[in-house]
Every structure is written in structure tokens, then in C-alpha cells.
Amino acid sequence: MDITILDTNIRRFALFLFCFFNIAIDSFAQDLPILKKSFKNAFAYTKDNQLIVSTGNIKRHWTWTGKGFSTSQINDSNEVYTLSNSSDADWDLGDLGNGKVVSIVAFRDDDENFTSEHLAVEAEIEYNSLMIKYVIWAYPNAKGLRTQLWLKKRKGKVLNSDLTKPGISEALTLKDKPEQVIAFGYHAGLKADDRPYEILAEEEITENGTSNITNGLIVRNKNEGLVLVKESQKHTHMQSELETGGFKRQNNFISVYGLGLKSEDITSDRYIFCWANWMILFN
């Protein structure tokens, strides 16, 4: 074989590999838009493919994976509470494919006077058929953060009918195996309810258990831990209609499911919100 032809083919193949892997790396390790904002003691900034948001008391780190934002660490000044998630994102809406961060902004907000002033962070993500707006609220000096998914269909695209399954909107990998995981919440019903229920529900979640009648979760290790609160209305007759969801525990992995909407609720003319989640540290 002509050595010149062989050498040329090797060079072409090497160039192909170089281009392929650079495209793949660019997709999965996209550097985020530059962000550096603060409000009082709360602040948010990006560094490479990392998003960091702090209240001044606690800090949460996210990594952009190419498919979503995945929590890599939650900590305060004394303790690290979570490790990097093994999942591609803190949410799971089925197979959305790769995404692209279109923008990240942060600003002072009070939700049109419905809450006290805080630093709001909004990241807009574009997938093949869906747009996600991931919203984070950081209240100065608070011991926790609020996160929320907003969804919008891309114009001319068709959504999968099972888009909201499993419908996970929050996921955390605990650093240590918890001593106790207690689910709690206010559970409402009708006055003439034929199903007995307790107004204040409480149950322990075992190592691989779930709870779908509560909207709060206490994860405890000795005198410290974290609390998850899901902004969903629990109702004896409307759990499926309201997609109220619940909590799932798999060893050290905790997920919150139930979006409060279904695929047919998502349109292309505006964003529609899912149930928000609060994460609060205590010690």
C-alpha cells in the first residue's frame, strides 16, 4: 500500500476523532453564561460549568451535565450535607435528550409583594421539544433555598405523553446514611369524607420506601440534618388530579416527585409552573 495514502487516511481519521470528541465535550461540559449577582448577604455566580447560590448561611453547588443541573454539594459553614448526584439532573421528566443553557440571570425580587425580598436566579434551558426555566430563590441569611421548575413546549414540537413521569422535581444524595427519615404534612379532605384520614399525617420512610400522603420530609442525623418541603396541596380525593406526588428514598438518595401538572397542560405560549420545593438545613 502506498505509504502516502495510508498516512493521509490516518490524518483524516485523527481529525474526525478530534472534531467528534470536541463536539461531545462541548455538549456535555458547556461553560455557563457569566453570572455574578448579590443581594445583601445572598449571592449567585457561575464558574465554568458550575452554578453556586448562597444565602450567606448555606451554599448549594450545581453542575451543568449537558442534560440539566445536578446538585454537587450543599453545605453551611460547619458541615457538608450532600454529595454529587449520580443523576444527570435534579429533575427527571423522562428522556429529554441533551439541553442547552440559553441564559442565566439573577435579580432582586419579591414575587409581586407576595413574599419578602430575595435574590432570584433563573436559568432557561432548551431541549428538543421542551423549554425549562429553573428558578432558585435565595433569602439573605436563610438556612435554606427554594427551587421550582417552569415548563413550556417549543413551538412546532410534540411532547411525549409520558413527559411528566416519573415527574421528579428535586433530588439529593446525602453524604451520610440518615438515622431517621420522617415524612409529615397537612392532609385535607371533604367534610363528608368516606375515607378516614388524619389532618396531620406523619410516617417514617424506610431505606427503600416512599410516602405519597405528605408534603414535608425530615432527614435527621443526631442533632443535624435537612428538611424538604413540597408546595403541593394534599387532598384525599385529588391526589392524582393535582399530581401532588411525594417522596422516595433509595439508600442515601432522596427524590421528590409530582409536578402538579400533566403533559397536556404544557403549551407553547407561556411557562407553567410545577410544585416548588424548599430545602432547609438545621443543626
Q: Walk along the chain (283 residues) and give the pLDDT tens digit of each residue.
A: 455 554 555 555 445 444 444 444 444 557 999 999 999 999 999 999 999 999 999 999 999 999 999 999 999 988 999 999 989 999 999 999 999 999 999 999 999 999 999 999 999 999 999 999 999 999 999 999 999 999 999 999 988 777 777 899 999 999 999 999 999 987 766 555 556 667 788 899 999 999 987 889 999 998 899 999 999 877 666 666 567 788 999 999 999 999 988 888 999 999 999 999 999 999 8
Sign of the Cα torsion 66, 99, 121, 245 reads negative
Length of the chain: 283
User: Which pLDDT score is estimated for 190?
Assistant: 56
Phi, psi (5° rounding) for residue 112?
55, 45
User: Which pLDDT score is estimated for 18?
Assistant: 44
Q: What's the CA gap between 242 and 76, in Å, rounded? A: 34
User: Which pLDDT score is estimated for 163?
Assistant: 77
How distant, in Å, are the alpha carbons of 121, 126, 264 from that of 154? 22, 8, 13
Dihedral in degrees, nearest 10, Cα atoms 238, 241, 242, 244: 70
Closest to 105 (Cα-Cα) out of 51, 179, 68, 30: 51
C-alpha cell read off for 168: 421528579
Q: Which amino acid is at 68?
A: G
User: Which pLDDT score is estimated for 11?
Assistant: 53
Strand partners, 226: 219, 281
User: Which pLDDT score is estimated for 65?
Assistant: 97
Phi, psi (5° rounding) for residue 108?
-75, 140
User: Which pLDDT score is estimated for 245?
Assistant: 84
CB 169 within 8 A of CB 277: yes
156 Rama class: left (phi>0) / alpha (psi -120 to 50) / beta: left
User: Which pLDDT score is estimated for 26?
Assistant: 42
User: Which pLDDT score is estimated for 159?
Assistant: 87
Closest to 135 (Cα-Cα) out of 125, 120, 154: 120
Closest to 29 (Cα-Cα) out of 92, 112, 88: 88
pTM: 0.87
